[in-house]
Structure 1
Amino acid sequence: MSLLTDILFTPFAVLLLAIDILVTIVTGGWLGIIKKYSGSGEEKMRSLPVDGDQVHRVHYSNTSSNLNSVPAEGHETCYDLALHGFETYPDNPCMGEREYLGYYKGNKKIRHFNGNNVAWRTYKQVQQEAFQFGAALCAAGLHGAPSTTNLEEMTLPCRIAIFENSCPEWMIAAVGAFTQSITVCTVYATLGMNAVTQVVATNHISVILCNKRSVQALVDNCKENPTLKTIVYTNNMIGPDDHVELPNAPPGVTIISFDDFVASGDQEAYPPVPPKPETAAVCMYTSGSTGVPKGVILKHSAVVAAAASATTFLSGFEDPIRPGEEAHVGYLPLAHILEMMIEFFALYMGASIGYADHKTLSPTGAYPTGALQCFKPTLMCGVPKVWDTMKKIAEGRIQGRTILGQFLVKVAFAWRKFALSHGFDTPFLKMLIFSRFRANIGGRLRYAVSGGGALNPEVEEFCRIGFCVKFMQGYGLTETAAALSAQEPDDVRYGIAGGPVPGIEAKLESCPDFIDKAGQPYLTTDRLDVNGDPIWGRGEILARGTPLSSGYYMMPDVTAEAFEKDGWFHTGDIGQWTKDGSLKIVDRKKNLVKLKGGEYIALEKMEMVYGNSTFVDSVNGGICCYGDGDMDRPVALLQLREAAAMKWAKANGINKDFQTLLKSPEMNKAVLDDMANEFKKSGELSHLEKLVAVELLASPWTPENNCLTAASKLQRSFILRQFESVFNDLKPKGIFN
């Protein structure tokens, strides 16, 4: 944009800001400035050291008495949480789903739903189905699990397996199992039949819940799973024209629909037998990004403590959670601990849960509208890839505006960023400009949480400013029931994972064998980070507390390696305590790769930075960086975003189709140049982490082809094997001699 154009547009910007300032004054928004700058001048502490040990910290409200906190007195199990919701909000909408009609006009990228019509189950209806499901499990021969955690092989028929995508039936089955103290084994719907066979065999599963499309494969594997006696199937995401034939049931095996199984449950014959806090709630199998999936055992007390942390956390700030009024969109896999924990929190709070999947959140993957526009959530959790996708969809719409429109949006973003950092907001601009961004996510979102990995600061900034939500990063693992630390709503810094949540202790352990971009080891005695900012130590993050897992099922050696006898769990992540006691994740031990010269590079951090490029298609998998001990510098495979590539071609007078552009040296150079810009802009990477070559792809990485885990994380080894010939040509470009 020329200087003259900027000058011509300046009066529009001045007028907008003047109106916004006037509205801020009239509505009392200026009080936020006074509140921000009238304090004692002392920085708010986000955590407290334990016994003066600066690298061992807890939540600032923690005392030894509330380390075992629960959402409310007497609620100590997942069954208790659900029952509280059932009895407190019986007529509230509980679980909703849209009627699926198949692919829209044959386009397998867009799913067709029956308008915005949602079939809702009330809390009372969900309770009835769950209790009947539990009774039906007992009639099928299952027993309650022992009230002590056992990591050895469990031969007692006290576990069911759920092998299905997120849907109402998933949660109803889980709650139903808990009504009878039965443990749930979760299996990502994308893990494949080998993983299912392993889970069924080692857990002696007799009942499994799955999608109707999976029944045939389960029947084909019955010989390898002699304990499997009942297959309960759902019709989730099966359209009226989809013909899915059920196979004949093998001798001794029953195939039954979810509705019929529920209808068979006799509550009088099998009244509820609630679990104890020490009973295993789930054996949650990881998505397998680092090898064979591990079964993480989580007691009821662990999941409840994590939900308690969320309750305490979201209730202690301005505009707190409103019991009975919130709406959550459930689209992450329920086999992912973050989604399962949040949904039990939602049930406890009487929130409505609208079910979808990540492909149908926006209108780009659903017709006539996306799930966000349909369910209008007030609460939403997402992994970094989802937020990156939301940002790029919104940016694409900005680019479709007039030059004046784009300029005004730019002004609005800059002004709101300034306003938030100084304690006030922009009411007029929120109404005039940002309301359109909010409409993309339903228009009602108040709290948004990003977890499951590091989030690019630019993505976080865009979401917080553009979507006008309290946007926070959380940090946790399956082994901590998703709860370890969380950023507070009033903390608008970027790249911060916050202080430990209530119920968790966290400390750092020195990593002398791992070094930062300046070549220095991560030590708990460090008082300055790599950028020269004051800190309270660096090192591997260890956690201890009620939300922690008991260990890995039938893996004593792996359990002993990760869990110390005094309760500390080794996360494998490297972090540092900031000056105010917040946790910042700076590296991950398993993703620190040593180059030929002996220097380390951080692949995940690189992918976070370079993934912000407009050329990277996050919807189709994003970017995969690579380096090893034979290489001088890293390279990357990336999914090229068609819209950005075609826009670049048009701007540069290149008349080529997308497939031709993929192989174009000019396109490759343009992408590599943009990677260099992202490298320079971020300031987060060392000179060794600057990409020297890229290869452009347009073959999506998905959980179905094993290139992504079910939680949307890269499976690097699968990607390199699948694109072996391309990678073999790319790798030598990172070797200089």
Structure 2
Amino acid sequence: MATASSDIKINIPEDPKKEPLIADSSTQAPPKGPNPVVAAITGLLGLLIKLPFWILLFSLDFVGTIITFGWVNALIYQISKGKVRAVPVNDEVSHRWNIKAAKEGLATTPFEGIHTIYALAKRSFETYPEVRCMGTREFLGQHNAKQKHFGETIWRTYAEVGVLANKFGAGLRGVGLVPAAKTTTLKQLETPCSLAIFENTCSEWQIAAQGAFTQSMIVTTIYATLGIDAVIDAVQECKIRAMLCNKTNVKLLMSRIKEMPTLKFIIYTNDMVAPGDNTAIPADANGVKIISFKDFCDTADTAKFPPTPPEAETCAVIMYTSGSTGKPKGVVVTHANLLATSAGAIDALGVRMGKEVYLGYLPLAHILELMAEFGMIGFGCTICYADPKTLTATGAYPIGALEQYAPTIMAGVPKIWDVIKKGVQAKFAAAPPIAQFLVNTAFAAKTFAISVGLDTPFFNLLVFRKLKKAVGGNLRIALSGGGPLNTEVQIFVRTAFGCPLFQGYGLTETCAGLSVQDPSDLRCGIAGVPISACEVKLESCPDITDKNKNPYLISDRVDTAGNKVYGRGEVLVRGNNITKGYYMMEEKTKEEWEEDGFFHTGDIGQFMSDGSIRIVDRKKNLVKLKGGEYIAIENMEMCYGNSSFVDAIGGGICCYGDADMDRPVALMQLNEPVTMAWAKKNGISGDFNAVKDSTALYKAVLADLIKEGLSGGLSNLEKLKGVCFLTDPWTPENGCLTAANKLQRREVISVHEAEFLAVKQKGIFN
């Protein structure tokens, strides 16, 4: 998931006095440098020249802080620092924690008397009938090779969406689907009670899901970027009778229809299909009826098939994972699970009923986006649909979705935030020196101000007012989930856009919700406190050690950095939001779910002194090297990905190590604009291919990666011995990324086998 933009690095240190915030990538490990004496004198003169301007700018900002009573917020922040955010449920020995609000009982629903997603949506359809529910920009075709052309936004109110949902549900009954059983089982479905959705995120996706719920039916999700084999597996396992898909995929489905004998109805959308598109729709064949979404709703008989509401324990979703570790597993989710997570989310995020504008662009087949949209509908907010490549004007004409919709709430995976960060950096890195000086000064001032609870009114007016436009100008809540968030990215977004970027932590098996960072918590690397729907405990991992060679134990009272903690170990969670298990995989379910309800996340965490959770390792992603020591591959990729030479849009960096190696290596997507800027600065001639193969660039990039690793706290064992440059992007379409944009390491290595073997054996490939 990425927007297209150039990647120029801005370094944001925790101490703003240490280094400038806009760093020219050409200064990173060049083959030759200027005379050190001359450089020192030049640097000193530069500081002396800039000093009066620094004093003036900081003075103006200080006066603004006094006038606007910003110091009051600083006092409040200092008083609240160190507050206890979570408390033990029983006692310290049990290592069971949850937030104070849930001490008297875990949350089940955001509204009294509401126990299903159907009832939650129905409440909003009736409470907010005239409020905009969904908006979609009209797609007019390709403007050019990189930009899609969009027209006016088409809006649907809550009343209109409610009518369409009821029609779609009645239509499903009319073509032979039936309500699911009132209670959930992990065994194979015996009746045609599930609608499969094989489509990108769009309003029709959500309306179809809500329509299925009106008739107590199950939604089976399939990532739109997964291959046809994954679709066939899901159809066969869930006995799918009807499927929603995009018009462009109908022909593909029909080409394999004989392998899906239960599939009798294909309902297609025209999402991202331009007017006048001549994509041919195959004729009905093999007993399969093909019909458009509009015609399907228009011909539905709501009088004959009024709503058949589900129960709390009715299965709502069978969500197939994106398949990063083999064949996708179907996670069985009930309405009660979804409601409990919604209740926990509204407690944690402070959503304003009927007032928020949410940008929907992540895959709805991913639990983060699905839960976010269910919550937005349940709380009467507006969802504006887009896709990751058209968030900015780089991929959209005349403007990007962020500028068009100006959302107040936005969720993203770490890669999205990294791409947005680097896109903003690119613009300012190309600005005149005076503008770069001003931005550096503003960032240094605001980074420090935020750390003590202050703001920067003067710099907000001068610099950050323009930066906020990159995300629409109204962003109030920014949430990151789906993986660990890099410290530099978190600080940058918080500083540049004037809103907290905080982490959420969860899995499909926990309905996306496990913990959420308090927006007032300015620490990085914190997963937050458990939401009010669940409780968390830790389990010792005596066979896995940290970088100090100490095992992760629940009896630990300090971490590797000397911070006070209340135990370390694998994170286990139970509560109302914990799903039932894996569809048709009862043995696998027994491996992950304890008899007392606790689910094994596979993540290693620790309880901080205030009750927050910090994730520090991953059991399954630890790799043992030749000397018997473990390295954390995902953490390495997060740290090395900070290098401006790494192209996040192209897929980032893939690290590798095994028992035959003393040290790890990496395959990385090389950022062309940064590389060519470095070459120009350092007198390296030739086109990109020539520069890419130069020894000077290799040394510079490897040095920069190692520098980023050191600043990220990686151990000497995690220091790369070699790296290979690639330029063919990794995407879900070529299998190198999952549909949720997570790295598929095995596939990356398979696709680039020659390069991988060379860098593994020699430490270099060029």
SS at match of 1:440: helix
Residue 515 of structure 1: aligned partner: 545
Question: What is the CA-CA distance between 1:179 and the residue it aligns to?
Answer: 0.5
Residue 283 of structure 1: aligned partner: 318
TM score, norm. by length of structure 1:
0.96
Unaligned ranges ≥5, structure 2: 1-41
- Residue 63 (str. 1) matches residue 92 (str. 2): no
Moved over 4 A (4+): none
- Residue 262 (str. 1) matches residue 291 (str. 2): no
Residue 628 of structure 1: aligned partner: 658
Range 351-360 or range 202-211, more displaced? 351-360
Q: 1:30 aligns with which of 43, 47, 71?
A: 71
For 2:744, the aligned partner's letter is Q
- Residue 726 (str. 1) matches residue 765 (str. 2): no
Residue 250 of structure 1: aligned partner: 285
Residue 271 of structure 2: aligned partner: 236
Range 30-39 or range 175-184, more displaced? 30-39
Q: 1:564 aligns with which of 591, 594, 607?
A: 594
For 2:603, the aligned partner's letter is D
Question: What is the CA-CA distance between 1:594 and the residue it aligns to?
Answer: 0.3
Distance 2:763 2:599 in 1: 37
- Residue 44 (str. 1) matches residue 79 (str. 2): no
SS at match of 2:243: strand
Residue 708 of structure 1: aligned partner: 737
For 2:306, the aligned partner's letter is P
Q: 1:119 aligns with which of 134, 154, 162?
A: 154
Residue 132 of structure 2: aligned partner: 93
Contact kept in structure 2, 1:98 and 1:118, CA below 8 Å: yes
Contact kept in structure 1, 2:723 and 2:763, CA below 8 Å: no
Contact kept in structure 1, 2:666 and 2:724, CA below 8 Å: yes
Contact kept in structure 2, 1:215 and 1:231, CA below 8 Å: yes
Residue 362 of structure 2: aligned partner: 332
Match runs of 1:615-654 below 5 Å: 615-654=645-684
Contact kept in structure 2, 1:130 and 1:173, CA below 8 Å: yes
Residue 19 of structure 1: aligned partner: 60
Distance 1:253 1:408 in 2: 63
Residue 134 of structure 1: aligned partner: 169
Contact kept in structure 1, 2:685 and 2:691, CA below 8 Å: no
Give per-residue Cα distances to partners, 1:117-139, cap 9 Å, x unaligned.
21111111111111100000000
Question: What is the CA-CA distance between 1:53 and the residue it aligns to?
Answer: 2.6
Distance 2:332 2:104 in 1: 25
Match runs of 1:181-260 below 5 Å: 181-240=216-275, 242-260=277-295
Range 95-104 or range 487-496, more displaced? 95-104
SS at match of 2:478: strand
SS at match of 1:61: helix
Distance 1:681 1:505 in 2: 34
Match runs of 1:345-424 below 5 Å: 345-424=375-454
Question: What is the CA-CA distance between 1:38 and the residue it aligns to?
Answer: 4.5
Distance 2:667 2:374 in 1: 38
For 1:144, the aligned partner's letter is P
Contact kept in structure 1, 2:409 and 2:477, CA below 8 Å: yes
Residue 45 of structure 2: aligned partner: 4
Question: What is the CA-CA distance between 1:19 and the residue it aligns to?
Answer: 1.6
For 2:311, the aligned partner's letter is K
Unaligned ranges ≥5, structure 1: 316-320
Question: What is the CA-CA distance between 1:104 and the residue it aligns to?
Answer: 2.0
For 1:60, the aligned partner's letter is K
For 2:716, the aligned partner's letter is H
Q: 1:658 aligns with which of 688, 691, 703?
A: 688
Residue 292 of structure 1: aligned partner: 327
Range 381-390 or range 213-222, more displaced? 213-222
Give per-residue Cα distances to partners, 1:43-86, cap 9 Å, x unaligned.
31121112113631111221243x13311111111112211221
SS at match of 1:637: strand
Q: 1:696 aligns with which of 716, 725, 732?
A: 725
For 1:410, the aligned partner's letter is N
Question: What is the CA-CA distance between 1:734 and the residue it aligns to?
Answer: 5.6
Range 726-735 or range 582-591, more displaced? 726-735
Contact kept in structure 1, 2:557 and 2:565, CA below 8 Å: yes
Give per-residue Cα distances to partners, 1:179-213, cap 9 Å, x unaligned.
00000000000111000000000100000000111
Distance 1:141 1:262 in 2: 15
SS at match of 2:220: strand
- Residue 72 (str. 1) matches residue 101 (str. 2): no
For 1:703, the aligned partner's letter is P
Distance 2:187 2:429 in 1: 57
Distance 1:307 1:648 in 2: 48
Give per-residue Cα distances to partners, 1:432-466, cap 9 Å, x unaligned.
11111110000000000000001110011001111
SS at match of 2:283: coil
Distance 2:552 2:147 in 1: 47
Contact kept in structure 1, 2:107 and 2:344, CA below 8 Å: no
- Residue 676 (str. 1) matches residue 738 (str. 2): no
Distance 1:327 1:607 in 2: 33
Question: What is the CA-CA distance between 1:642 and the residue it aligns to?
Answer: 1.1
Contact kept in structure 2, 1:13 and 1:408, CA below 8 Å: no
Q: Which has the higher contact order (CA 8 A, sep 6+)?
A: 2
Aligned residues: 722
Question: What is the CA-CA distance between 1:241 and the residue it aligns to?
Answer: 5.2
Distance 2:57 2:302 in 1: 63
Change beyond 3 A, Cα 1:38–1:344: closer
Distance 2:674 2:123 in 1: 49
For 1:80, the aligned partner's letter is A
Contact kept in structure 1, 2:171 and 2:301, CA below 8 Å: yes
Identity of aligned residues (%): 52
Q: 2:337 aligns with which of 302, 307, 312?
A: 302
Contact kept in structure 1, 2:411 and 2:478, CA below 8 Å: yes
Give per-residue Cα distances to partners, 1:358-410, cap 9 Å, x unaligned.
11111222122111111110000000000010110011011011112111211
Range 554-563 or range 650-659, more displaced? 650-659
SS at match of 1:201: helix
Residue 318 of structure 1: aligned partner: none
- Residue 667 (str. 1) matches residue 702 (str. 2): no
Give per-residue Cα distances to partners, 1:260-304, cap 9 Å, x unaligned.
001111111111111111001100000000000000001001111
Contact kept in structure 1, 2:108 and 2:336, CA below 8 Å: no
Change beyond 3 A, Cα 1:113–1:38: closer
For 2:78, the aligned partner's letter is Y
CA RMSD of aligned residues (A): 1.3
- Residue 165 (str. 1) matches residue 200 (str. 2): yes
Change beyond 3 A, Cα 1:535–1:734: farther
Distance 1:254 1:417 in 2: 59
Distance 1:88 1:666 in 2: 64
Question: What is the CA-CA distance between 1:726 and the residue it aligns to?
Answer: 0.8
Residue 576 of structure 1: aligned partner: 606
Distance 1:663 1:422 in 2: 46
Contact kept in structure 1, 2:501 and 2:519, CA below 8 Å: yes
Contact kept in structure 2, 1:219 and 1:249, CA below 8 Å: no
Contact kept in structure 1, 2:344 and 2:531, CA below 8 Å: yes
Range 473-482 or range 303-312, more displaced? 303-312
Question: What is the CA-CA distance between 1:679 and the residue it aligns to?
Answer: 1.3
